[in-house]
Amino acid sequence: MSRSKSSHRWLKEHFSDPYVKKAQAEGMRSRAAYKLEELVERDRLLKPGMAVVDLGAAPGGWSQWVRQSLGDTGRVVALDILDMPSLAGVEFICGDFREDAVLAQLEALLNGQPVDLVLSDMAPNMSGVDAVDLPRAMHLAELAMDFADRHLRPGGTFLIKLFQGVGFDDYVRALRKRYARVVIRKPAASRKRSPEVYALAQGKHAAPVG
| Residues in the annotated binding site | 60, 62, 80, 96, 121
Those residues whose C-beta lies under 8 Å from the C-beta of residue 171, and which sit 6 or more positions away, are 138, 141, 142, 145, 162, 199
Q: Which of 22, 47, 161, 177 is catalytic?
A: 161
- Known binding-site residue numbers for S-adenosyl-L-methionine: 60, 62, 80, 96, 121
What DSSP line would sit under the chain, residue for residue?
A: -PPPHHHHHHHHHHHH-HHHHHHHHHT-S-THHHHHHHHHHHHT---TT-EEEEES-TT-HHHHHHHHHHTTSSEEEEEESS-----TTEEEEES-TTSHHHHHHHHHHHTTPPEEEEEE---PPP-S-HHHHHHHHHHHHHHHHHHHHHHEEEEEEEEEEEESSTTHHHHHHHHHHHEEEEEEE--TTS-TT--EEEEEEEEE-SS---
Q: Is 192 a catalytic residue?
A: no
* Catalytic residue annotation: 161
